[in-house]
Amino acid sequence: MGVPAVAAAAAVALAAGMTTPAAAQPVRSAAAGPAASGPSAEVAHQLTLITGDRVSVDAKGRIVGFRPAKGRAGIPVRKEIRDGRTLVIPADAQRLIASGKLDRRLFDITELNRPENRRAQQHDLRLIVSYRGAQSARAKAEVRDAGATRIGRSLTSLNAQSVATPKADAADLWQALTSEQAGSEQRTTAAGVDRVWLDGKRKATLDRSVAQIGTQAAWSAGYTGKGVKIAVLDTGVDGTHPDLVGKVAAAKNFTSSPNLRDRIGHGTHVASIAAGSGAKSGGKFKGVAPDATLLAGKVLGDDGFGDDSGILAGMEWAVAQGADIVNLSLGGMDTPEVDALEAGVNKLSATKGVLFAIAAGNEGSGAGTVGSPGSADAALTVGAVDVKDKLADFSSRGPRVGDGAVKPDVTAPGVDITAASAPKSEIALEVGEAPPGYTTISGTSMATPHVAGAAALLKQQHPEWTYTQLKSVLASSTKPGAYTPFQQGTGRIAVDRALTQSVVSEQVSVGFGVQQWPHTDDTPVTEKITYRNLGTTDVTLDLTAAGTGPKGKPAPAGFFTLGAQQVTVPAGGTADVALTADTRLGGAETGAYSAYVVATGGGQTVRTGAAVEREREAYDVVVKAIGRTGKAAVGAEVSLDDLGVASDGSAFTSAFKNGVATLRVPRGTFVLNGTVVTDPKKIREIDWLAQPKLSVTKNTTVTLDARRAKPAAITLPVKGTKLRGLQSEFSVSTKYDEVTYGWMVDGKGTLRTAHVGPKITDGSLSQRWAGNWNKGRRATTTSRPAAGSSSSPRASPVSTRPTSSPR
């Protein structure tokens, strides 16, 4: 275990500002922080970062230790806690994350500490690495040769591979994936490496339906899905169930589970909704496309979870097997970035013409809860309604995280759905079978195969159609509900309408983005809706636009307007209509406005969603970073965390150019956290400047001047001890939230700190310092609680005298 350490920490309630301690009273506490990994820390799990650094957490997921990988001593490590998530980011990885080259989840301790991720990464670090350019082959070879790294699946749609490396070799893999920037200790991706993602885990989106969506009309017209292949990528499909006998043309296991058996029962239920024959029930529980052929990819294991790489490999396999529609009743947390599964959905849709029907998720009625990969642009994303077309409480809502786009795209029945049961499966044992051979469960998982089956009926009718036509027709022909596009997309799918639909909107939804406050001088924004006539006769459409405000009331007259009230779409051709959003209207009401454009004519109705965000009162915060030389800093990072009730837990960030960054934030109170790098060759020297409370009521400028920062050091008043590492962090608490930021450095790194801005006198600011010391080869600990305060934001350091000494 190496040389024993003396662990100590000082918890300080600050009445004014952050301090730099010279000596600290030791305390025995698991909350002592990452530096306190000595005898007092109660380690439950050790998590390995892609850099090879190891993070220790206690049973509650709190960080209690940090150990840099070999050769990485002295690299400072940033810690942040907000919205219930903890991130630990080494300084040399910051820019790679900001540029989108590195998946932020690789440093998300909350994500890595999920039981399913701990199990998957118990021995190995598992990644997905994509490559690009002429150096791809060389990059693949260097990754393969990094320690005992093993190459898994080849994911050709993204020119990527799944990679597993023993945790002890993670630092070697980091060196293979990244390279040092010229004249800098900052790192960039190695030549030939494009992006690196966590090979994360997804789960099934589980929380009288066939006739509800109009399938009887399709069956009567002879459309039953015959000749169409639906891939169900799930927990497996029980092909011995009477409703599924002879329907599975191919099956493959992409999990670590021993065989194809569906021990969960989720995939069997989903497959039955899409294409079950209903044989066991005499046709009562027949699927939407009963004559469609099934492809069964087991991408979720017997624990209900699946690797991203396995799911992506299953997607590629399904396409290679000739799938026309792929059903993904699974998902995970979405982020503003495009993850590997979203990239795969977009790429395979565009290059192979396959439609992906994907569950929106079951995260409830909050805004921005649609999961990934349902958030992919190309996906036909599905929410859930009940038998009366009432939106399910559990159905995830938009707007999409990051850009405010409309998701989900449509809804379908997903409440109390009865379909085939896998015998002795987890679901069958939990909820029971009634009638025998069937279970009744709910979720957007159940809604999604209704849409996949409906797409199969259309594909049989129009074999030449690709995902674009299938998606457009299904979304254009929906039955509306009393909800906004963010709740239901265009509405609940209606197969009977889709079968006779000849005119569609090429845009399932139209996005106008965010219009900046104040709105009195806004310029109206116009986007086009393109109507395409797939039929053989011209169709004249009458157009209306109806908008809804953020509180569910009608938008002001003139907020959404059309360039024409009528348009004729020629047979086999297109016609464009302008839709304008005038955000000068609306008075004081800000937020997300949505609309439906309804085109009626030729015996059919075409529905298109639209959305625009009318920014609430907001201002520019200009941050100027000055290095220790007095010149503009060559490297800096800044984030602003909203402490108000309206916060969604996200941080505002912006890139620096010539030492200046501009952040657009709503009126409110923020935590400003910044770091300044004076010399890119000295990444081990960090100047950390923070303003714990920044009130933004107008355009504001903040200067982060590294010359004001002072060295951080903790001296233990015990002879023979040597500081091995320290951590400093501060927290700001409100009745709505708590935000924590910190840095960790070992004995080879240098941390300098400064408090920016006025005194904090309301008791909301606290600060903790923690340190590890070596003393010979005996483990000794001194403990006694300590608390104090300082009277100035740049006050003298915390200083206490020991009341006991190591023996």
* Enzyme catalytic residues: 234, 266, 445
Relative orientation angle of helices 467-476 and 444-461, to the nearest 10 degrees = 110
* Distance from C-alpha of 230 to C-alpha of 295, rounded to nearest angstrom: 6
Which residue type does 296 have?
A
* Distance from C-alpha of 698 to C-alpha of 700, rounded to nearest angstrom: 6
* Distance from C-alpha of 606 to C-alpha of 534, rounded to nearest angstrom: 13
CB 512 within 8 A of CB 548: no
CA atoms within 13 A on the CB side of 16: 13
Q: Is 86 helix (H, G, I), strand (E, B) or coil?
A: strand
Nearest to 461 by CA among 656, 687, 222: 222
Q: Give the H/E segment covering residue 125.
A: strand 124-131
Q: Give the H/E segment covering residue 138.
A: helix 136-144
CB 453 within 8 A of CB 346: no
Q: DSSP letter at 259?
A: S
Q: Is 722 helix (H, G, I), strand (E, B) or coil?
A: strand
* Distance from C-alpha of 205 to C-alpha of 804, rounded to nearest angstrom: 56
Nearest to 318 by CA among 297, 303, 287: 297
Torsion over CA: 73, 76, 81, 86 (sign)? negative
* Distance from C-alpha of 550 to C-alpha of 560, rounded to nearest angstrom: 14
* Distance from C-alpha of 325 to C-alpha of 338, rounded to nearest angstrom: 22
Nearest to 664 by CA among 633, 700, 708, 712: 700
Residue with tokens 């199990």: 119
Which residue type does 54 have?
R
Q: How many residues does the chain have?
A: 807
Concatenated DSSP letters of 327-380: EE-EEB---SS--HHHHHHHHHHHHH--EEEEE--S--SSTT---BTTTSTT-E
* Distance from C-alpha of 156 to C-alpha of 38, rounded to nearest angstrom: 46
Residue with tokens 């987890």: 426
- Count of CB atoms situated within 10 Å of the CB of 350: 14
- Count of CB atoms situated within 10 Å of the CB of 431: 13
Q: Is 651 helix (H, G, I), strand (E, B) or coil?
A: strand
Q: What would the two tokens of residue 742 be?
A: 């910190």
* Distance from C-alpha of 556 to C-alpha of 584, rounded to nearest angstrom: 10
Sorted by sequence, the CB contacts under 8 Å of residue 745 that are 6+ apart come out as: 74, 76, 77, 684, 686, 712, 725, 726, 727, 751
* Distance from C-alpha of 174 to C-alpha of 169, rounded to nearest angstrom: 9
Nearest to 459 by CA among 474, 479, 446: 474
Nearest to 242 by CA among 447, 451, 438: 438
CA atoms within 13 A on the CB side of 63: 34
Q: What's the Cα-to-Cα distance from 164 to each of 100, 148, 359, rounded to whole Å? A: 21, 9, 29
Q: What would the two tokens of residue 558 be?
A: 């003139």
Q: Are strands 635-642 and 651-653 parallel, antiparallel or unpaired?
A: antiparallel
- Count of CB atoms situated within 10 Å of the CB of 202: 24
Nearest to 474 by CA among 504, 517, 431: 504
* Distance from C-alpha of 697 to C-alpha of 806, rounded to nearest angstrom: 52
